[in-house]
Structure 1
Amino acid sequence: MLLVILCVTVLPFAFASINTTCLPSKEVDALREIGRKLGKDWDFERDPCRDWEISSIGERENNVTCIAEPNSTICHVVSINLQGQSLPGILPPELVNLPYLQNLELNRNRLSGTIPPAWGFMERIVNIALLANRLNGSIPQELGNIRTLKSLSVEDNMMYGAIPHELGNLTSIERFRISGNNFSGKIPDFIGEWTSLTSLRIQASGLEGPIPSSITLSESLTDLRISDLGGPDTLCPPFSNTTRFTHLFLRSCNLIGQLPQYLASSLEVLLVIWTFCSFLNLFTNTWNFFALIKTHKHSSSVVNLYRQIGNK
């Protein structure tokens, strides 16, 4: 039986030597099932790789992107970006049938259910963004198989369970964001072994401390945000170099003792937030504290936080 393919026109400036490209029938079938499960009303009378792209409006995105194979008339889906559309469905396992998919962004919808373990077999995926949905369940251990994954965001959902140790295999990960969930267990030590990690957000995640020193000593991190940890009180973990941070946010992490001097001096170049009165013992009085931060671009945020602490 002849292979049925869906032909689409490609923008001439993108592929000057190719007039038309074709999406394999397997990927067309996968898109149909993906759309059905997401609750997305794609029009298959139109070209998925061209006519489904709509200009962004605020935080609303509605794009499917395809790229042609070199010197070929065959194209493949490489990106699905459906953000801010209030999609009511579930996460489709059929995404694994898009073998060239690299980018998946489904932020700010009403998607429910769990992350399919089958996603662990997406061989080229680089970015998975699922922020602000209604997802539950745990992070599948199978995601640890995705050696190409650079960014995983499941913030602001209802997920639970321990962070699987298999995620320690994500050697290419650069951004890991799990804030606003109901996870359990301690912050995994293996996070500090991700040598490419630049952004880590574990705010109100349900996890317990202590904060592993391998994380704070990481040379690649520039954005570290941790808050609302369970567990016992602990001393501040060591930092090797605070000047590299663009964001350093530590709040309600059960840290005790004085704010280390090298962190206090960093307030001139970055925003460090601690909500424990014991750390403020470093500052002899309110005026010294205000003098330290007065030239900082985030000084109003620090001042407001100081006032909140004083009212506790």
Structure 2
Amino acid sequence: MSLPQPVPPSWKDLGKSSSDLLGKDYHFHGAALEVKTQTPSNVAFKVAGSRDSKTDHIHADIEAKWTNKAHGLTFTQAWTTSNVLRNQIEVENQVAKGLKLDLATTLSPEKGHKTAIINSVYKQSGFHTRASLDVFKGPTFTADTVLGRDGFLIGAEAAYNVTEGNITRYAAALGYNAPEYAVTVHGLNNLKTFTASYYHRVSRDVEAGAKAVYDSKSTHGGVALEVGTKAQLDSSAFVKAKINNSGVVALGYTQTLRPGVKASFGVALDTQKLNDPSPVGPSHKVGVSFVFDS
């Protein structure tokens, strides 16, 4: 008798290990600050802001999240500096075990723009599926499913325009997850864009990964390739590095200064334009991020 299969990752999390390795903790687009606090009544507050070094624009938002674990209920409200109001209400494991329902809305009072998306997630042994209905856009119904067995993964996604009665987008993916490594291949944008990602935990302190992207409709042709690594220096600090086939090198350093306080620094250098008269632009970028979490 075979053992129960674990719940596979969702469609959006296929290849997540590689994506996180190559995408997170590289803070070279400017300055960012994030402050998180938690009240005894299970209300979490988060204030986040960033300044783009290229445009000098400042973006920020304040978010409050209330959670009732006993009833599987989460309510989130946020207000951004663009005067956009975001609301989300989630209910999990109440209608059925493994089922999560949520309603996410946004409202821009000045522009009169609004969105409403109804989402559902259902996961069981070897099975993970999601569905969403964009009420005001289309309306558009989107669904994806991932099946997993013995580490092998297969997934598919499709979007259907209810008004026009046609499929507007579809994609597929194959992958394999093991404790030390993961491989994922995606066919996106109606199977016109293909990506392959690889992740390997070399040791307890070292990780490596790569991602290749091929767009059959690209006017430039060829494959975009990016490789990177992460090294854990000690329990409170790590360094990351990556390079792509365009010659851009990125470095990131993250240090936990004390419990709840984290600082990250990043730099990106275009090795084909090292003679740029400006040491940090426009070809080169630097940035910093601070996170305070109580």
TM-score range, shorter chain: under 0.3
Structure with greater contact order relative to length (CA < 8 Å, sep ≥ 6): 2
Structure having the higher strand fraction is 2
TM-score of the superposed pair, with normalisation by structure 1 = 0.26
Tell me which structure has the larger Cα radius of gyration: 1
Query: Greater share of helix residues, 1 or 2?
Result: 1
